[in-house]
Amino acid sequence: MEPATSWLDQLSPLAWVVIVPALALLWLLWVLLPFAVFGVKGRLDRIAAELADIREELQKLNSRVAQARPEPGALGPGDPAGHRREPALGLRIDQDDRLI
C-alpha cells in the first residue's frame, strides 16, 4: 500500500512561487489597510470643514446679490412692467431668491 501524500506535497515548485507571494501580499494588505482607513478620516474631516466654509461664502454671496438687485420698475423706461434682470455675473436667481 502506498503512503498517503498530502496535496501540498503534490504542488509543483511553480505553484509555490505563485502561492507564497500572493499569500504574503494578502497578509500585508490585511495588516496595513486598517491604518490607511484611519488616515483617510482626518482628510475627510478637513474636506467637510472646507465644504462648510464654501457653503457659508455662497450664502453671503447670495444675500449680497439679493440686496444689490434693484426693485422692479426701478431700472427706468427700458424695464417693461418690472421684469427682472439677471445679475451680471451670469448667476440666475429663481423666484424665491435662490441661486440656480
pLDDT for res 23: 96
pTM of the model: 0.40
Per-residue pLDDT tens over the stretch 3-41: 667 877 788 888 889 999 999 999 999 998 887 777 788
Domain around 43: 35-66+90-100
pLDDT for res 78: 56
Assigned domain for 24 exists: no
Per-residue pLDDT tens over the stretch 73-83: 565 555 555 55
Band of residue 85 on the pLDDT scale cut at 50, 70, 90? low
Assigned domain for 27 exists: no
Average per-residue pLDDT for the chain: 79
Give the sign of the dihedral formed by CA 69, CA 71, CA 72, CA 75. Answer: negative
Number of domains in the chain: 1
Give the three cell numbers for residue 74: 426701478
Assigned domain for 76 exists: no
Place of cell 449680497: 64
